[in-house]
Structure 1
Amino acid sequence: MSASTPQPDRSVRPADRRVSARIGAIAESATLAVDAKAKALKAAGRPVIGFGAGEPDFPTPDYIVEAAVEACRDPRNHRYTPAGGLPELKEAIAAKTLRDSGYAVDASQVLVTNGGKQAIYEAFAAILDPGDEVVVPAPYWTTYPESIQLAGGVPVEVVTDETTGYKVSVEQLEAARTENTKVVLFVSPSNPTGAVYTRAEAEAIGRWAVEHGLWVLTDEIYEHLVYGDAEFVSLPALLPELADRTIVVNGVAKTYAMTGWRVGWVIGPKDVVKAATNLQSHATSNVSNVAQRAALAAVAGDLSAVHEMRTAFDRRRRTIVRMLNEIDGVVCPEPEGAFYVYPSVKALLGKEIRGQRPQTSAELASLILDEVEVAVVPGEAFGTPGYLRLSYALGDADLAEGVGRLQKLLAEAR
């Protein structure tokens, strides 16, 4: 399925169009909307448990916070700095990339952005012309297709499901390829499914991209959150011949529990990074210097903090999968990465639950919030109706309580 760039209604005088067609077509982030609603209900005194936001429940490590405190006192950080990022942070990101994924890059190939979302948009904006197609495996994170369309591109969805572990095959990618295809999106570990491609699967996709002269945008934000025998693989490190047409996006948000600090980055060919830097110089200029100094402490430090978080996430992963699969009508594959589960609830749709018969996963999610005060994100947000996404980045007690409420409610389905 593909979408075209929205066109304005030419029968209406331009001065009378209040919101542009391009911006008016952007949907609100469903995950942030669910999280905001859950927090508002909590603030009103309701005992809501939120599985909506992909946000570690741990505080940012102390040494990173202290680096920010020191940065606040340094007058150098009270001024403009280079739009593309502090030189020392770009150097540290290059060193961290070699350390963690075996991919050797120069600091000139790095652009520091205001979080991963800006990195994704600027990467697409730098390489897409109107009508260029991007192959997007679904389920997908809600921001990908919106960023593609905002950049003038056309997202072409390739749907996967639980029978393949939510992983796309080369055959599916080839079936979606046209003369307008420019980019394939590759995300492993995945948001929303937690799927992790094996080395062989990643290599096959990379070689297919090389064969057809395609670009790859790979989102590596969950690189350190893999479990069991799963392995994170960076495509440009695996296939050096792909590096000149690969853009990597990443950030500190998930690895170091720094979602609110808003520091991400783009790594890519120098000409593309230069173009994206030019865009950022007009859009936002430099990322907050204090946040950049905190990110420098994070990426230059060791990974002990993430190891502790991963141990907790792994425990919660096994708990939530077991509890969800105890519910009749729910099928929950075991994710191998990130901190999400993506169970199918198709068998529950149309059944009566407390006097209602939800026909879609969106209606089911609404019923769940209203009846047992548990916030989940429906599959419609990720391009695949019939599923729910739950983040297990919350405390063990809340996780058990929240899924326990789901068990009781959904056991009533008739």
Structure 2
Amino acid sequence: MPNWDTGNTGFMLLATSLVMLMTPGLAFFYGGLVGRKNVLAIMIQSFVSMGWTTVMWYLFGFSMCFSGNCVDGTDLLGGIVGNFNWVFMSGIDLNTSSAVSTAAGNIPIYGNAGIPMIVFAAYQMMFAIITPALITGAFANRVKFAAYLIFLTLWLLLVYFPFVHMMWGGGILWNWGVKDFAGGIVVHNIAGMAALASVLYVGKRKIVDQGLHSIPLIALGTGLLWFGWYGFNAGSEFAVDSVTANAFLNTDLAASFAAVVWILLAWWIEKKPKFVGLLTGAVAGLATITPAAGYVTTTSAVIIGILAGLVCYFAVALKNKLGWDDALDVWGVHGVGGMIGIILLGVFGTVAVNANGSNGLLYGDSGFFVKQILAVVISSIYAFGFTWVMLWIIDRITPVKLTRAEEEIGLDEILHGEHAYTDAM
């Protein structure tokens, strides 16, 4: 049995638990934002991912993400997806280290020699669970559950698993030198662009309900998300060191500054300091700092948080002006937040914070800045295009959209035969 680093392993188990908590947090957050007749329908879409994504991760998801690499030519499709050597988690046991390097040149790819691979796999599985759940807020109140389950399956296979490999598993983006500390591309950008494609495909809600029904539920969800995000970002260092501490603090700074900027903007423009605005701003800051948390200084994190509050606020306003029925602002908060986070990493990144990072434009490396922009463009087009095509195919198998009559009754009743509140019956 290897002599595992118990401190780092214990920290990663804690970080894994924190990230797991984010999916119920997201369910509460989204549940509060919809009307009383659709609470369970939106929440189950998050919770079912906890079960179904775990099954897929064990069967072949982990292998598709993290087996093989493009330097050695051992992955598939030229660095787009991993191979199938680790299906059913085969070849991974209690003695397998999470530290993986290329055979050619012994270039480190991911992991930590002192942490078991099974811990690394569990941690990454939590990311896989929450990412497709983020998309559901965009098409809230409109999509049938059977269609969603097919969508969840195909989206993981064709979008999420490939991007994890490309960015974190030794694929083409990793080999190109693109950086993404905890998921600006892998989580937020591709989920946000998938959300936009979903909204444009399914169209507007036929019945617009009363809107959010429980601000306390939204606040509870935000608190759980914020708490879990420390594991999301700090845990992505896979060790307890100065980078971990920096990522932890940067996470809080960006969220706090973005929340304050958002509520001040709402107060100025909408004439009221909105509580939901404060909460949404915090989530925007958390999403935006995600790719940069372990690569930038605290001062840069403050700037990123301020820009997150500004840009995401006006992205949501633009969405409303264009008439896109992104019900819970997934594109404006996560899609745009992930985009600007990746780009700003290309500006503010510095090896003085993390030797495994890259210097950004501010520190003299314009090439890295260009790579980050191109990565955003590629990931956005890929996620949008594949999501649109998937929905078109699913619609030929089973109807994706509800009828007007079904929307009128409410998804909780029509799809699940349950009610969140007795007075909603």
The question of a shared fold, defined as TM-score above 0.5 by the shorter chain, is answered with: no
TM-score where L is the length of structure 2: 0.28
Instruction: Judging by fraction of residues, say which structure has more strand.
Output: 1
